[in-house]
Homo-oligomer: A and B are copies of this chain.
Amino acid sequence: MSGRLAVIGLGPGDAYHRTAEADAELAAAEMIYGYGPYLDRVADRDGLVKIASDNREELDRAGAALASAAAGHRVAMVSGGDPGVFAMAAAVCEAVEKGDPAWRAIDLAIVPGVTAMLAVAAAAGAPLGHDFCAISLSDNLKPWSVVEKRLSAAAAAGFVIALYNPISRARPWQLGAAFALLRQTLGGDVPVVFGRAIGRPDARLSIAPLAEADAEQADMATLVIIGTAETRIVERPGLQPLVYTPRFSGGA
């Protein structure tokens, strides 16, 4: 008998930012796989087994979860944000394609969640207000030349740019290189939003013009949004400024 695998987006922070669907799938699971800090966001209960793994072993983790589901268990796998955005859903699909043919018969559900760029945008105002793109700065999974090409194309075409995985100990220079590259096309005045751990108690939001944007402001829990020439800042007395990109868009 084949079980079920639900790949669940936990959203940006605690349960307050989860959908009812995500809660229902978590409540129905017998086993939950995921990176430790995401598992910690799910309350312990009798009958629930948590299986933590390293964040870099995505394909192995996907295979283990599929094998458990194929054995008849109700299995969940959790990602922060949305599972389809630089997270586990693609690894699970890849494991289904490459793994045991029996895995193709598993009842597989992908449960969407609020991905980090939406949470950071909401905290800042509406910086993603017109066309935008999402780029992961991790070059574990693609050559840096591809990242450069995409950054330049996006800036030249007038997309707002959301940067995921901007920096880590193993990737210390990429965000600074991205800022330098983007200044060539965008100039120094466009607003940059740094959103760290938005939706969590240690959340921090900051805004800087691209000329002053400093990679030191980011860490692994940060998402960076780079506006366009049209992005605006609205000052508010006693409140954080609003950053928004108008719905109307001229020639880029």
Contacts and interface: CB of A to CB of B under 8 A. Distances in A.
Contacts of A126: 83-84, 89-90, 92-93, 110
Contact of A234 (B20, B96, B129, B141): B96
A214 interface: no
* Of listed A58, A90, A123, residue having the most chain B CB within 10 A: A90
Interface in A6-24: 9, 11-12, 15-21, 23-24
Contact of A19 (B11, B115, B145): B11
A171 interface: no
Contact of A110 (B24, B58, B125, B142): B125
Contacts of A157: 149-150, 153-154
A20 B18 contact: yes
A247 B158 contact: no
- Count of chain copies: 2
Contact of A89 (B129, B133, B236): B129
Contacts of A142: 130, 248-250
A21 B119 CA distance: 12
Contacts of A21: 16-17
B16 A105 contact: no
A251 interface: yes
Contact of A236 (B84, B105, B121): B105
B112 A244 contact: no
Contact of A252 (B90, B149, B159): B149
Contacts of A84: 118, 121-122, 126-129
Nearest to A115: B118
A112 to B, nearest CB: 4
Contacts of A250: 142-143, 146
Nearest to A198: B112
Contacts of A86: 130, 247
Contacts of A132: 133-134
Interface of A: 9, 11-12, 15-21, 23-24, 58, 82-86, 89-94, 96-97, 104-105, 108, 110-115, 118-119, 121-123, 125-136, 141-143, 145-146, 149-150, 153-154, 156-159, 232, 234-239, 242, 244-252
> What are the 5 closest A-B residue pairs judged by CB atoms, nearest first?
A90-B129, A93-B244, A133-B133, A153-B157, A89-B126
